[in-house]
Amino acid sequence: MGSAEVGATWLCSLGGAAALAARDLARLVLPVECAGCGTLDEVLCAGCRAPLTGPPQRCEESAPRLDLMDGRPAFPVWALTPYTGPVRELVVAWKDRGRVDLTQTLTAALAVGAGDVAAVLRAARLGPWPLLVVPAPSSAAARRRRGADLVGLLARSVASGCVAAGVPARAAPVLAQRAGMRDQVGLGARARGRNLGGGVRWRTRADLPAAGQPVLLVDDVLTTGATLAACERAVRAAGGIVVGALTLAATPPPGGFPGTSWNEGPAGESLASTGWPQGWLERAPGRVTVKTRSTHRPPVQGQ
């Protein structure tokens, strides 16, 4: 090897060493850790990522405020995983601690889950219109604090997942919160219901749906169901029909989901085994059937 080649190799090695040193210094200043469990040098470790990879499960019966109050059964709600343990930590980190590095992982996971839900919707009679994938609205303050409409990003990924699975769909951020609503974080079931009430509306300048056009709602977490119920009322008032909802996670009811058991962890802490069924997707197309109406009202501009 000539002196020039030796010099070039030395410079490359020096440059590589400098890059590694810069990376290590950055991690000392701003260390990367798993958003779910805190493991260093991992944005999201394999163990905390695993709950997001299972097929979505039906969970509407765990939401006490999802009752439509008019004799109709609650519309189906699917979630990827229970909102417990590391899943709760990573969702909170994403929403409220600036962990935007989780966005790609979470949106991709929900897009895959949307493909499973689309298989159910494809078996139902959804009519001639494309599926509207509608995100639950966030307040302007929450959007500013988070730097983006995070649930809107989830809705876009869900629409893409439905299209990939053969169901025509498009994301439609058409709902808004009315002025004066509080942030739902920290509110109990009754307070959430009172806070929302009629607090969700169809945006004034958004095109109305065709009469009977199917809508799939999207949210990050199913808690009491108050948010989704308020969204359903706004969609129904505008002329659409909610055929279901899809969320990243669902808060377990008191006592946990069926099959929950408690075990002692390595440090004596209580660990829940949720019994969340894996590898199974309840197919109940009769619950989401939308009959084609005899009159067709094309979308018009809102007043």
Q: How far apart are CA 203 and CA 130, in angstroms?
A: 19
Report pLDDT for 165.
96
Q: Partners of 81 in the beta sheet?
A: 249
Residues sharing a CB contact under 8 Å with residue 238, sequence separation 6 or more, in sequence order: 174, 202, 208, 209
- Among candidate residues 34, 89, 59, 48, the one with its CA nearest the CA of residue 247: 59
What's the start-to-end Cα distance of the chain, in Å? 78
- Among candidate residues 48, 214, 50, 35, the one with its CA nearest the CA of residue 128: 214
Q: How far apart are CA 160 and CA 218, in angstroms?
A: 13
Q: Which fold has domain 55-256?
A: Rossmann fold (3.40.50)
Lookup result for tokens 């949106």? 107
Taking CA 156 as the corner, what is the angle to CA 219 and CA 292, rounded to the nearest 5 degrees? 80
3-state helix, strand, coil split of the chain in percent (to 5) is 40, 15, 45
Report pLDDT for 2.
52
Report pLDDT for 125.
73
- How far is CA 25 from each of CA 21, 29, 113, 133, 219, rounded to the nearest angstrom? 6, 6, 38, 43, 38
> What is the CB-side half-sphere exposure of residue 225 using CA atoms within 13 A?
21
- Among candidate residues 87, 61, 85, the one with its CA nearest the CA of residue 75: 61
Beta strand 200-202 with 175-177 is antiparallel
Q: What is the CA radius of gyration of the chain?
A: 23
Report pLDDT for 286.
36
**Contact by Cβ (8 Å): 133, 113:** no
Residues sharing a CB contact under 8 Å with residue 134, sequence separation 6 or more, in sequence order: 155, 171, 172, 173, 174, 175, 215, 216, 217, 218, 231, 235
**Contact by Cβ (8 Å): 64, 58:** no
Domain definitions of the chain by residue range: 55-256
Q: How far apart are CA 249 and CA 219, in angstroms?
A: 9
Report pLDDT for 259.
55
**Contact by Cβ (8 Å): 89, 31:** no
Predicted confidence pLDDT, tens digits, the chain (303 residues): 554 444 444 444 444 455 445 444 544 556 789 999 999 999 999 999 999 998 999 999 888 888 766 667 789 999 999 999 999 999 999 999 999 999 999 999 999 999 999 999 998 878 899 999 999 999 888 888 888 899 999 999 999 999 999 999 999 999 999 875 555 455 444 544 454 456 899 999 999 999 999 999 999 999 999 999 999 999 999 999 999 999 999 999 877 776 544 444 444 444 445 555 443 344 333 344 443 333 333 333 332
**Contact by Cβ (8 Å): 171, 156:** yes
